[in-house]
Amino acid sequence: MMASQMRSLLMDELEAVRNASDDKRAATVKQITDLFLAGAACFSNEQIQLFDDVLLRLIDGIERRVLIELANSLAPVDSAPVNIMRQLAKNDEIQIAGPVLIQSNRLDVADLIEIAKTMSQDHLLAISERKRVEQALTAVLVDRGNDDVLCKVATNAGAALSEADFRVLVGRAENHERLTEKVGLRPDIPAQLFERLLLRATKVV
């Protein structure tokens, strides 16, 4: 379908539900999402931007269950509309933001750092589960994260840790058995910090 034809189709759908009931708007979001998923691998950047624009307008004020379904549908898709993914990732409810924070490749490091600096511990925990966590992002997680976040970072082989990050983890681990074990098992822990962990950590060592 040409971009102009698709734009006409989607804009007609948008106009048709502008003042519709919540159920009708929810059904339209699902229909448009299904249309996107069916052709995601083939759409041009222009077409993806069109889906982005339409979905952003449709989800304004829409109910929670629709946003949860949308987040779970789009999170694994490498070509998912980027602005809708950013909006879902910044949602206060972790059931909506979580799938996107864990899976989406459409969020760049700057997006994730902004969220890690401002959102809840649940959001930080979701970010710490990503397959790859760049060092600049890991530093924010280590600085702000609670024990659950730090344990998840320590067990994530895809999380890049600097020596400064390891110092923080070792310091926090000294009175925390579970974190002590997770940090001690990291193959990339600097030798001097591993020795410190052995000398000063809890009896679990």
Let me know if residue 196 belongs to a domain: yes
Selected residue with higher pLDDT from 65 and 58: 65
Are 63 and 140 in a shared domain? no
| Number of structural domains the chain divides into | 2
- Write the pLDDT tens digit of every residue in 83-109: 999 999 999 999 999 999 999 999 999
Let me know if residue 147 belongs to a domain: yes
Are 64 and 141 in a shared domain? no
Let me know if residue 42 belongs to a domain: yes
Last residue within a domain, chosen from 84, 101, 124: 84
- Write the pLDDT tens digit of every residue in 169-189: 999 987 788 899 899 999 999
Domain that holds residue 78: 1-84
Are 149 and 77 in a shared domain? no
Q: Measuring CA to CA, how many Å separate 136 from each of 68, 109, 119, 124?
A: 29, 8, 17, 14
Last residue within a domain, chosen from 23, 50, 84: 84
Query: Who's near 201: CB < 8 A, 6+ residues apart?
Result: 170, 173, 174, 180, 184
Are 149 and 75 in a shared domain? no
